[in-house]
């Protein structure tokens, strides 16, 4: 199903189609965005005790950083001694992370692919997706969580975060039938972002066999979720 640009948009713009080609289009969008922003290494210097401590207490050794971006979280976790695999749809972001990890002598495996195509052969003790699931359609987010559940070790942990639902309403966007925004024009042209309600996050997790351990709403309105496989 195609969603066409509203009448009056300049010709040459195309609609949105959530298929394999669209994954390539999303990769191009994120490559473009990352090419326009510098790597800010000091963002890996914040206090990660809340994350590192929780993972250590749960006995976690291997972590998959899903939608890792330039790798602030991956670097921090690798420095703390975890065995980190970083996945992102953006080649540009993963290249930067590879270079950074090499400079620090950190061994971080990097995978460039859409999270909805996460291979299910490897297992991880923990999976982290910070501000990632809201950058895809609802069907894609479901597929990602289905795969997350499949690759988690039975006593594994999941950390997910979702932006505040208010979003950047001022920026022009189309709304896809599932409620996902498709930004048009400006620096975010082509980016997907879906405003999630708290109940939707809860039902997304529950529907895919994840038991929520903790659901936090930050002052900014962003949501953070710790979960584990049901029965884990």
Contact between 138 and ligand SAM by CB under 6 A: the answer reads: no
- Nearest CA to 9 out of 168, 134, 190 is that of 190
Contact between 137 and ligand SAM by CB under 6 A: the answer reads: no
Binding window for ligand SAM (CB under 6 A); candidates: 53-61, 82-90, 145-153, 197-205: 82-90
**Contacts of residue 13, Cβ cutoff 8 Å, sequence gap at least 6:** 5, 184
**CA–CA separation, 201 vs 167, rounded Å?**
16
- Rank residues 27 and 60 by Cβ distance to ligand SAM and give the closer one: 27
**Contacts of residue 189, Cβ cutoff 8 Å, sequence gap at least 6:** 29, 183
**CA–CA separation, 105 vs 148, rounded Å?**
28
Contact between 110 and ligand SAM by CB under 6 A: the answer reads: no
- Rank residues 156 and 190 by Cβ distance to ligand SAM and give the closer one: 190
**Contacts of residue 155, Cβ cutoff 8 Å, sequence gap at least 6:** 58, 59, 125, 228, 232
First-last CA distance in the chain: 38
Contact between 88 and ligand SAM by CB under 6 A: the answer reads: yes
Contact between 30 and ligand SAM by CB under 6 A: the answer reads: yes
Contact between 26 and ligand SAM by CB under 6 A: the answer reads: yes
> In this structure, is the dihedral angle defined by the CA atoms of residues 57, 157, 125 and 136, taken in order, positive or negative?
negative
Binding window for ligand SAM (CB under 6 A); candidates: 51-59, 124-132, 170-178, 211-219: 124-132
DSSP 8-state class, residue 132: -
- Give me the least distance between CB of 128 and ligand SAM, in Å please: 8
Contact between 97 and ligand SAM by CB under 6 A: the answer reads: no
DSSP 8-state class, residue 116: G
Candidate list 58, 62, 131, 142; residue touching ligand SAM; CB under 6 A: 131
Contact between 114 and ligand SAM by CB under 6 A: the answer reads: yes
Structure tokens at 185: 């024009």
Candidate list 84, 89, 108, 126; residue touching ligand SAM; CB under 6 A: 89
List contacts with ligand SAM (CB under 6 A). 26, 30, 67-69, 72-73, 88-90, 93, 114-116, 130-132, 135-136
């Amino acid at each position: 199903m195609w969603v066409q640009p509203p009448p009056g948009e300049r010709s040459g713009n195309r609609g949105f189609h959530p298929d394999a080609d669209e994954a390539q289009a999303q990769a191009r969008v994120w490559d473009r965005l990352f090419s326009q922003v510098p790597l800010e290494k000091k963002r890996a210097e914040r206090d990660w005790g809340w994350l590192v401590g929780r993972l250590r207490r749960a006995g976690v050794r291997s972590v998959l950083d899903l939608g890792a971006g330039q790798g602030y979280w991956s670097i921090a976790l690798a420095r703390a001694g975890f065995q980190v695999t970083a996945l992102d749809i953006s080649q540009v972001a993963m290249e930067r992370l590879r270079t950074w990890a090499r400079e620090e002598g950190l061994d971080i495996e990097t995978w460039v692919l859409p999270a909805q195509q996460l291979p299910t052969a490897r297992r991880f003790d923990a999976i982290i997706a910070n501000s990632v699931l809201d950058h895809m359609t609802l069907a894609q987010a479901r597929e990602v969580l289905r795969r997350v559940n499949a690759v988690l070790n039975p006593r594994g942990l999941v950390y997910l975060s979702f932006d505040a639902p208010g979003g950047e309403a001022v920026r022009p966007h189309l709304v896809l039938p599932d409620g996902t925004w498709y930004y048009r024009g400006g620096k975010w042209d082509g980016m997907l972002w879906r405003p999630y309600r708290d109940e939707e996050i809860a039902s997304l997790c529950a529907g895919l066999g994840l038991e929520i351990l903790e659901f936090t709403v930050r002052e900014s309105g962003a949501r953070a979720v710790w979960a584990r496989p049901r029965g884990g």
